[in-house]
Amino acid sequence: MQPLRTRIEGGGTPRPARWGVDSEYGRLRDVLVGPIDHFTWQPGNAVAQRAERVGLRFDAAVARRQYQEMLDAYAQAGVTVHRLAPEEGLPYQIFARDSSVMTPWGAIIMQLQKAYRRGEYASVLRFYLDEGIPIYDCVTAGNVEGGDFMVLKPGVAVCGHSGERSIEPAVRQLARWFEAEGWEFHTYAFDPHFLHLDVQMGMLAEDLAVVCVEAVEPEFLAWLDARGIRVIPVSYADAMRMGTNVVALGEERVLVPASSRNLIAACRAEGLTVFDPDVSMIGHGGGAVHCMCQALKRDDVGRR
């Protein structure tokens, strides 16, 4: 049986041959997605609350069709999809981004804030153990969710914290681990209205990000620029419709929600191939394509 934790104190943790990521944009080979079986919109999510306030209503049949459209897009892109086993009582288990994150050295099991999400750790932990995927470590310093975390490029990671979904002590624990491995780990505080960092930014391709420039602080934009990351801006209105919630597929390809028309046009102007499934019924519940997935394996870009 594999050990529950592979992290070596003080750094120097070996990288597994089969699994892991060193960027947000290396060619995506394997992805973990959450199940849609028990998905419903939940109170306590600003995006879902707004959807209901403006008169939208959840339709499970539409959500299932859109979910399959997303899976079809992954198949067209040559990505192997793995799915978490559905469990009753976990309506947001579909958002597999949050319960774990992948690193160059294996997975990290996260802690979730909302009571109706806390049980998600169990199914994702069983998945990694059953599949023999190394677990780097488990967060113990408080709640921190995967939507706030990104491996931007080799040697550089970032994690946001709002004091709600992710709290600073837990983010600092992640920072200590990455810094021990010789990585730069940037922490970024933001207003909890934005839920997660991936509602404010996302990586589209190498050194190219989409960012809601109205939402992030100028210092964060300067930090991205100093690391050679160019920005395509989107409006606040687009961001609140999950307009930065994207998945880079690698090789100048990207998965973008169909509702993000302005971003799709900008990506095509950059020469990117866009896969654009309609996930609006899911998106109105507070998460889109980035929220629904966790990369398990990307081609290394730091060893080219």
pLDDT along the chain (304 residues), means of 10: 84 96 98 97 71 76 98 98 96 97 98 95 96 97 98 98 97 98 97 91 98 95 98 93 94 97 97 97 91 97 72
Burial bucket for residue 59 (CB in 10 Å: 0-12, 13-18, 19+): exposed
CB-CB contact of 276 with 268 (8 Å) = no
Burial bucket for residue 87 (CB in 10 Å: 0-12, 13-18, 19+): middle
Closest C-alpha to 35, from 63, 11, 1, 10:
63
Which domains are seen in the chain, by residue range?
28-298 (3.75.10.10)
**What pLDDT is stored for residue 165 in this prediction?**
95
3 state DSSP class of 51: helix
**What pLDDT is stored for residue 45 in this prediction?**
66
Tokens (6 digits) for 236: 């606040």
Query: Is the full-model pTM beyond 0.85?
Result: yes
**What pLDDT is stored for residue 302 in this prediction?**
83
End-to-end CA distance of the chain: 33
Which residues have CB under 8 Å from 261's CB, separation 6+?
none
Count CB atoms within 10 A of the CB of residue 75: 11
**What pLDDT is stored for residue 194 in this prediction?**
87
Residue 143 exposure: Cα atoms within 13 Å on the Cβ side: 17
Tokens (6 digits) for 77: 């892109």
